[in-house]
Every structure is written in C-alpha cells, then in structure tokens.
Amino acid sequence: MNKPFRFLIFVVLASLDNAAAGVVPPLYAVMARDFATSEARLGSVTAVYILIIALSAATIGYRSDQGQRKQWLFWGTLVWGTAMVLSGRAQTVNSFFLWQAITAVGIGGVSAVGFSVVSDVVPPDRRGIALSLWAMAQTLGAALGAGLATIFGGSNWRLPFFLVAAAGFLFAVLYLLFTTATRRGEAEPELTAVYATGKSYEYRISRADLRQLWSRHSNRWLLLQRFFLALALGSTIWIPRWAIARVQAEGYGLGDATLIGNLFVFLFNIGGFLAIPAGHLGDRWQQRHPLGRLNLALIGLLGSIPFFILLYFLPLRGVIIPTHGSLFAVIWAILVSLFTNGYVALAFVVAFFGVSLFAAEPPNWAALITDLNLPEQRGTIIGLSRLFSATGNALSVTLAGLLITRLTAHFAPPTNYAVGLALFQLPLLPAAACYWFMRRTLPEERTAVRALLARRAQQITGIGK
C-alpha cells in the first residue's frame, strides 16, 4: 500500500484518539448534573486519565520498539473504542471513571506507536510539514470530540461516546485490512541503500538504549520542556467552561450556553490550521540553519502568551443567538456576529494570533525529537515524553480546578475562569527557556545520530567498507 494512504490512515487514527479525549471536558456541567457530583471531581477523572495515557504510552511504546507495531495499533484502537462505548453506558461516576481508565490505556499505546510509525513514513526534510498534519489531526480530533459533545451533549451526553467509538472501530478495520507494516527507518536517507538492496534494518531497542536516550542533553531538555508546556496546557480543559460562563453572563441558560460557548471556542481555534505552513517553514529554516526548527518553536511559544492572556479577559457582550432555532441557525448567527459585534470580532482576532503563533510549536518539537533519536527508539522516547506531559497535565488539571474554585470566592464567573487561565500561562516561560538551553547541544547530537545510521547501513550492505 502506498505511503500517502498509510499516512492518511495513521493521521485519522490519531485524530480519533484525540476525539475520544476531547469529548469529556465540554460535558462537565451536564455530566456533573446527571451523576450528582461536582465539576471538580470530573476534572480529577480527567487528571487520572492523562496519567494512565502516559504510563500506557511509555510501556507500549517501548514494547512496540522491540517488535511488531501494526498489531499494537490495531488492538489498542479496539480497546479504547470498546471502553468508550462502556463509558457512554455508565450509570455512576465510579463506573465512568473505570471505563475511562481503560480507554486511556488504549489511547496511550496507540499514540506512542502511531508516532513511531509516522516518523518512518516521512523523510527528515519533510518531517515538519508531515508532523504538522499529524498535530493538526490531533487538534481536529479533539475539536471533533468536543463538537459532538457540543451538538448532542445538551440533550444526550452519552451519544458522542458511541459515535467516536464507531469511527474508531471503522478505521481500525481499514488499517488492518488495507495497510502493510511500515519498515523501521524506511524514510531515512542513510538507510536508502539498505532497502534498495533488499535488506532490512533489524535494530531493536534494548534496556541499554534507555540510558543512551537520557544521556542526550537535547532529549532531556525536550522532555523537561514538555512538562512545563503541559503544566500550562492542562488548564485549557477549562476554556470551554470559560466560554460557557461568558455566554451565561449574557443571560443564556446552561444548555444553550453549552452549545453557543463551545461553538465560540471552535471559532477561536481556527488559527491552529497555520500549524501546517509552520511545519513547512520549520523544514525550510532547518535546511538553512541547524537551529531552524528550534528557533521557530521558541518564537511561536513566547509570542502566543500575551494574546492568550488578553483573550481570557475580553467580554462577549451583546451576543444575540437564537436559542429555539436549528443548529445551522445558531452557527450562522455566531458567524454573523464576527462582523456585527465588535467584542466578538476583537476576541476572534486576538485568539487567531495567539493560536497561530502557538501552532508553530508542536510540529517542530515533534520533528526535533524525531531527528534526535534512532528509528527503534522513537516509540519509547515519545512514550517518555507522554509521562512528562502527563505529570504536568495532571498537576495542571487538578490545580486549575482547585484554583478556579477558590477564585470563585473572590471573582464571579466568568472572571474566576479568566484569572485562573491567565495565571497558568506562566509555565510557558520555563518551557521556552528549555529551548534556549538546548541550543548548544542540538546540532552536534543530531549529527551523531545521522552518522550512526550511516555506519549501520554500511555494516548491513557492505557498501563503502
């Protein structure tokens, strides 16, 4: 099967993983009402979910680097799809917690294995744009999950779980039947001669490699950077709640505000599509300068901070949306408000710049960590990065929930959400500092990896000895 089709299947699977994760946050208020629990408790479910994803990614990522990856991807998708169905059938918050934990096991494994496979499909000089599509798929997947929650969640919060699971089952079958296993390192220029002569790259990760991964200074900075980034981003699960509260402040009820607020969130995230040209720009800059990708990621990260802080404090006054019409009528009214309501227009512009700048970071980080590690190490290193991210995410989700609850005593909604979200922009500063500190080690360590691949190719083929 050709590479574009394989890449498409991997991208869709990645998006569906994130759709499964994106369903829950927009439904906090509705689910809390049905389960007779608090939104903060549902937030803690999400925190544990994130940790389980990370543990699964690290474990299965390592195991897949030792063996066949196709089976891990297929069975991982079946696991999270089945658990999503059971999550949608849960009658208590405890049973919901159990099935979401199992969902996290499947998603974590698929995320690590999928990244490893994608890195073998695309050559280094196009890795930025390919991984920007990968990152975009994850963003769109999360938006899909949140969108299904928004559209159906007000009347039936269970239905989005079933829809995402059904899509997961469909593409798992397509992946199993219509794709061939991806060969490790097949897109690496140094290994072209290996596969051209009918031979294969048979290196697999061992425990000794774990020390080698950690010994690379740039790896350590990239992993630590993921912790600080996640410490900021974990709080963003409260953005839908912030938007809902903004709409409620205009006099709308919870059900209507859930739909309208989440539609505004989708609208404000349009700038994320610039991740694709940002990935391409990273490829081009990298070809001209050894720190090209790093510089672009650093600029985007720092540049986004003031825009996000400003966005959280902007009001959405004078929003007039029909609450008894069709979904299309609601969407149309929101789009019209972009041109007729100055508050909405300003919020959109600020969000667009913030999200666009931030979108430059994920694909270039992914390309950096791919370039720094051997083909048989990439599932493991991305799994380790999930552990660092999950630690920061879990802390952020928990602390943000507690902070926002405490802030309610001093600020009425939506100001409590705005203050809380703005404070959680501060960890982006040490996240940016990690990029700055790895500038000295990155070029040399990347070159060492390429040289090792070239030596191994010579040993396998006997060419150049």
DSSP symbols for 363-405? HHHHHHHHHTS-GGGHHHHHHHHHHHHHHHHHHHHHHHHHHHH
More confident residue, 160 or 353: 353
Q: What is the DSSP letter of 205?
A: -
Direct distance between the N- and C-terminal alpha carbons of the chain, in angstroms, rounded to an integer: 34
pLDDT at 315: 87
**Of the ranges 70-84, 167-181, 337-351, the best mean pLDDT one:** 337-351
In whole angstroms, give the CA distance from residue 215 to residue 217: 6
Give residue 464's pLDDT. Answer: 58
* Amino acid 340: pLDDT: 92
CB 339 within 8 A of CB 357: no
91 φ/ψ angles, rounded to the nearest 5 degrees = -110, -15
Provide the 10 A C-beta neighbour count for residue 429: 13
N residues, the chain? 465
Task: Judge whether residue 448 has pLDDT over 90.
Answer: yes
For residue 272, name the pLDDT band (cuts at 50, 70, 90): confident
Which is higher by pLDDT, 72 or 214? 214
pLDDT at 304: 95
pLDDT band, very low/low/confident/very high, at 211 (cuts 50, 70, 90): confident
> How far is it, in rounded angstroms, from Cα 241 to Cα 148?
16
Place 465 in a pLDDT band, splitting at 50, 70 and 90. Answer: low
How confident is the model over 213-238, as a mean pLDDT? 92
Give the residue from 364, 392, 59, 368 showing the smallest Cα distance to 217: 368
The pLDDT score that the predictor gives to residue 2 is 60
Q: Specify the range with the lowest mean pLDDT, choosing from 60-74, 258-272, 442-456.
A: 60-74
Question: Alpha helices of 289-360 — where are they, by DSSP H?
Answer: 292-313, 327-340, 342-358
- Rg of the chain, C-alpha, whole Å: 22
SS3 of the chain: helix, strand, coil, percent, to 5: 80, 0, 20
Summary mean pLDDT of the chain: 86
pLDDT of residue 182: 77
- Segment 272-287 shows an average pLDDT of 90
- Model confidence over 43-100: pLDDT tens digits? 677 778 878 888 988 898 888 888 777 778 888 888 989 999 998 888 888 888 889 8
Tokens of 281: 């720009």
pLDDT at 3 (0 to 100): 66
Q: What is the dihedral of CA 285, 289, 290, 295, to 10 degrees?
A: -60
Identify the weakest region by mean pLDDT among 35-39, 215-219, 372-376, 434-438: 35-39
Domain architecture of the chain: domains with CATH: 10-461 (1.20.1250.20)
What percentage of the chain has pLDDT greater than the value 90? 29
Q: What is the mean pLDDT of residues 320-331?
A: 82
Task: Give percent of the chain above pLDDT 70.
Answer: 98
CA angle in degrees (0–180, nearest 5) for 420-395-79: 120
453: left (phi over 0), alpha (psi -120 to 50) or beta: alpha
Lowest mean pLDDT among 8-17, 122-131, 325-334, 444-453: 8-17
CA distance 415 to 412: 6
Q: How confident is the model at residue 16 (pLDDT cuts 50, 70, 90)?
A: confident
Tell me the whole-structure pTM to 2 decimals.
0.83
Which residue, among 289, 300, 303, 295, has the nearest Cα to 435 in the 3D structure?
295
- Report pLDDT digits (tens) over 398-436: 788 888 888 888 888 888 999 999 999 999 999 999 999
